[in-house]
Amino acid sequence: MLDSKKYFPTLANNPDLAYFDSAASTQTHEAVLKAMNNYYCNFRSNTNRGEYDISERTSNALDIAKQQVADLVNVSSDSIMFTSGTTQGLNMIARWMKDKKRIIVTEAEHNANIVPWLTQGKSSADESIIVMPINDFDGLINLNELETILEKTSDGWQDTMVSFCATSNVTGVTQPWQDIATLSHKYGATVCIDFCQTIAHHEIDLKENQIEFAVFSAHKMYGPTGIGVLYSSFDFNDLIPLYYGGGAVESVTFDSVILKQGVNKHCPGTPDIANIIGFGVACEMIKYVGYSLIKLQELDVLKHLLSYGIDVLPNCRVFPANGFEDSVISIIPITGHSSDIGQLMAHTGVAVRTGKVCAHPLVDRISGSKGIIRISFAPYNTEEDCEKLCRELAIALVKVK
């Protein structure tokens, strides 16, 4: 279901494209598109506001999709709400948690888990943001160092927030997020995890790990763009709504409003119906295929990349040093600029991502002004893609020398 281009219309319609930018966005599966199209063609209507047949169908489809998303991460559907994506989710969490005295993050954060905290007045200059460095060899943080920081800084449950991406969009390395959560909880911290780069590759059990907040986006997991999810173990009644309008209210006069209860009070306006339906199908599909098979299929792609010499390319180094274990491989050119290399490759029909990949602090540290060349793959990448990528990348790296 995931290991052939025929299921991914953009790949099927661009047969010469070697697409290695799945960490930016995976391709959308045809089953997702069919479900969305079915909504538009057969029961296109708003939800909950009509008693007629197609509006009922829409409401039911939304309930099913919500359950499908919740099931993938083993939580109740009352504990999740839809967002426009991980970025919106992290912004909301930063606004809710603005009174925390300090936020512990990793050096590998995406800007989406940095800027929302900065806008709440946090900063590393006054240690209201504390940054855990990652190891240049394996891309992991040091848990002993984290414990030392937590020990020093925990003066009450309200004070510390540990907010981090489980999987880096620069390295593809997944932190031991369960251990980080357990350790953080031991010292009374609140935990928020950005699973944006994790969800397509690794099983996530939010219930078992009792995370307070988690976010991810559908477009990184074969679903549509512009839709994501925010999970919280907190009672949504205790979180202040950040948006107001119709749909989230029980009653309104010109003097007062009674909001709905629970997660519904946070969801005014018409939901992104087609995208939510597509998101549900993407979750169902990943569950059906299973993470162990996905891993095997990704390993197959990696084997092809290695057999065509991804690990012996000229004029570059890989980051982290042990960087050939995940579905992201980041390469730093020794001479030349990453965007020049990206452009040379684009002319040959190879799509990779270059530059700072929205993780400025880490990419600045490891590459200076060069930026990285990020190769990210998925089960649909073929041996032919891998051969083309390695060939064109080697040529481009030599050209910029």
Write out the residues near ligand PMP by the rule CB under 6 A. Answer: 85-87, 110, 112, 165, 169, 194, 196-197, 217, 219, 228, 358
CB of residue 355 vs ligand PMP: minimum separation in angstroms? 12
d(CA 266, CA 268): 6
Cβ-contact 366, 319 below 8 angstroms: yes
* Nearest partner of 112 among 88, 138, 81, 77, judged by Cα: 88
Q: Which is nearer to ligand PMP, 161 or 196 (CB)?
A: 196
CB of residue 342 vs ligand PMP: minimum separation in angstroms? 16
Amino acid, res. 261: Q
Cβ-contact 94, 120 below 8 angstroms: yes
Backbone angles phi, psi at 317, to 5 degrees: -135, 160
d(CA 168, CA 285): 24
Dihedral, CA atoms, 297, 301, 307, 313, nearest 10 degrees?
-150
Q: Which is nearer to ligand PMP, 331 or 390 (CB)?
A: 331
Helices 177-186 and 143-153 pack at an angle, to 10 degrees, of: 20
CB of residue 310 vs ligand PMP: minimum separation in angstroms? 21
* Nearest partner of 371 among 336, 322, 400, judged by Cα: 336
Q: Which is nearer to ligand PMP, 276 or 344 (CB)?
A: 276
CB of residue 111 vs ligand PMP: minimum separation in angstroms? 8
Tokens of 355: 């530059």
Q: Which is nearer to ligand PMP, 25 or 120 (CB)?
A: 25
Q: Which is nearer to ligand PMP, 57 or 360 (CB)?
A: 360
CB of residue 400 vs ligand PMP: minimum separation in angstroms? 25
CB of residue 347 vs ligand PMP: minimum separation in angstroms? 25
* Sheet of 213-217, strands arranged across: 80-83, 228-232, 213-217, 190-194, 160-165, 102-106, 129-132
CB of residue 219 vs ligand PMP: minimum separation in angstroms? 6
Q: Which is nearer to ligand PMP, 313 or 331 (CB)?
A: 331
* Nearest partner of 104 among 202, 39, 35, 188, judged by Cα: 188
Amino acid, res. 7: Y
Q: Which is nearer to ligand PMP, 169 or 327 (CB)?
A: 169
